[in-house]
Chains A and B, each alone.
Chain A
């Protein structure tokens, strides 16, 4: 695969470019400085930006991706540990500093407007072109289910190169032939002489070795750690209440902050009365906040509770915008946009328009689908701590894009990015929310008023929800032709939605002009491997007032719903089986066939069902991963219960089966929550749903048993964090149709049914 070749070549070029071995970089054009060098303890040696070894054999692996619950600290550390021949119990994992040396190329590949399974020349060339751009931008990012893929080569090489240098150091020391040496548990052993030394004892000498330029990785057959479920490295902290999340951050002299920001991003405050807020014991100061992300007030206090109480007591009003965001109006705008010519078409096969125009009406199936704005609603409200002291800024937070966050903080503080230090904390969920940086900028604004003291700013649940950067709404017009008991020969999908990429780029790179096709707008539709003779997927980019952002699986979260539910309708209209139709439309993809047959066997697809029971099927290929789901529901007096879920997934090579399964399961539950009850509405420019009682998620008693089988496949790994969400939604909606005969085309389902 192209991307893998590139990564390997880049690494080796970087490695040979340097003598001395302390700083191993990955840039083709110039070696990156090693960000670990700045903060080494006196007896520590840093090897590449990924490993530190102390004299007493303390081995620290740097995982430069944000741990949001996806197990990235465990899987990425396992890559290094596998090649280094150390166990996961033996090592410590650190998030490491924020640095462009930790760029992510896989995430840029995801943004290329080519289909993932398309390994053809044009697509390969486009991906290759994107990769160096990613490096030049130096984007360190945790998104798009790419971390495990992006680190797969680089982090294993880091371990392998380091192991070779340690072995060479031992050979020097013992004046012996390294070829007979073995390495295990952080020790180099010479079985011919019984000499042995720990990595810690060898580290200083190893650092003086030449960086080997020709290193091969262990073949899969010799893996001891990879491919097997590993205990996660952060669970003792997480079950004893000692894991420190952003909201828990405490430093000497720390002050605490809460915010009251106006609705929308542009309204200015018209009236404020601080008296009641200042009367709250512990409130120290109220400061104005003027940011492109919103305007309002920050309350500074000696405790978090006092800050919240102060913000609550603050009497403030904001001007009403001339044309305030309103969900009803925005929905109409989306529908209007569908009547205008498409902005871009990422799938065009055959002549769909002609076939559909010529077909007799009796053979045409058409429908309009829609989805609302959605919030991330992470359990931990957004937060950041900041300290501004003599032109130096420190920020404590969890970010999915810390290099972007650092550059925005630097700009707003008026300092160079080198003078911004980001400390990464655990975070209580993100799902795309923390790709944005608004929380850090607000913390910085408040830190400008604390005379050099650190301040931890936490949003109340209501403020967090009110200033969500939502998954955008979307409306789709669907049309197909199917002759009775045949396959559909024409499918047209027209989607209207705002561009997340455009909205995000405006916020993140305010000086750039960004335009172009945002492939996420039709992802989950244009990139599906169905063999349909005439197939057209068109995007209508529709700007709406509220900012929109990344949300677990992005465009696939709605396009898969549109496509998979509509195909269910098409199958129903043609009187053919929904599974049988997919098997035939995907006949040229053996992975898909294997997966569909597996989920069919697991669920007993086609079995007779008693009245009120229904089975629904959906499949999708997203983030390099195939996932198929069958959902069983029971309907009783207009109340629906999800009985059981069967899921077959092909993520390619599986690095840690338990983590992959838990990520897919998590994505399924996330999708169900969205399908069943979630909806964000705007009125007078403001989000109406401000707490979990108005924006519900699945609870224990609603969560079905989820049976997952992974199909191990010999192909490059796909992502796991997001791929469960897209098919979960249509599989559930199709099951509801099967049980009730009612076809729901507008989410959430709670508009039509009650779920128990």
Chain B
């Protein structure tokens, strides 16, 4: 079984029942996508599939229909994605555990809605819990990232 992950194709073997979250963590060692709940209510494992926000715990390999992108795939320390840059500019994280999921949800939102309103941000982000309560800064960072993306930096 083949899957496209962060721009490259991989053979992931025959076990197609494993949830994507655990394929990423156990098989690829991509630890940026986090495990936090078993009720699909926290968003810590959010990735994008063909640019749309998805919970990696809810998709098996067999159900994959497009390219998976994870936090490791969108940017690295030398070359940050504008959303990651905005997260640093606004000094968003506290403990940081949920932030990969938050950032991926924001990336998907901004791909579809370049200038989101507060209501659109609420709607797109309400599936991503943050126990440290960084929501006000996440909101500010999304608006900053929207500007960065529109200006093409």
Contact = CB atoms under 8 A, between A and B. Distances in A.
Chain A partners chain B: yes
Interface of A: 68-71, 229, 231-232, 234-245, 247-248, 250, 281, 303-306, 377-381, 426-431, 458, 460-462, 658, 662-663, 665-666, 668-670, 673, 691-693, 697-701, 703, 705-706
Nearest to B142: A700
A511 to B, nearest CB: 34
Given A427-B95, A458-B35, 10 more contacts: A69-B96, A231-B88, A235-B91, A239-B87, A239-B93, A241-B32, A247-B31, A247-B34, A691-B41, A699-B126
B36 interface: yes
B31 A244 contact: yes
Nearest to A302: B26
22 contacts: A69-B132, A70-B94, A235-B96, A236-B77, A244-B31, A245-B34, A250-B29, A303-B22, A305-B22, A378-B97, A379-B97, A379-B129, A380-B97, A428-B97, A430-B95, A658-B91, A693-B39, A693-B41, A697-B129, A700-B121, A701-B122, A703-B136
Interface string B6-38: 000000000100110010011001111111111
B134 interface: yes
A236 B85 CA distance: 9
A462 B39 CA distance: 10
Nearest to A427: B95
B40 to A, nearest CB: 9
Contacts of A460: 38
A28 B122 CA distance: 55
Contact of A305 (B26, B30, B70): B26
Contacts of B19: 305
B133 interface: yes
B64 interface: no
A379 B34 contact: yes
B55 interface: no
Contacts of A428: 34, 36, 95-98
Per CB-CB distance, the 7 closest pairs between chain A and chain B, nearest first, are A241-B32, A669-B133, A428-B97, A69-B95, A69-B94, A241-B71, A238-B96
Contact of A703 (B29, B34, B135): B135
Contacts of B91: 229, 231-232, 235, 658, 662
A194 B20 CA distance: 61
B72 A241 contact: yes
Contact of A662 (B22, B33, B38, B94): B94
B110 interface: no
A260 to B, nearest CB: 14
A244 to B, nearest CB: 7
B97 A666 contact: no
Given A662-B137, A700-B135, A380 B36 contact: yes
A689 B93 CA distance: 27
A235 B37 contact: no
B45 to A, nearest CB: 11
Nearest to B40: A693
Contacts of B61: none
A458 B88 CA distance: 29
A236 B88 contact: yes
A238 B42 contact: no
A68 B97 CA distance: 10
B42 A692 contact: yes
Nearest to B38: A461
Given A69-B96, A666-B134, A240 B80 contact: yes
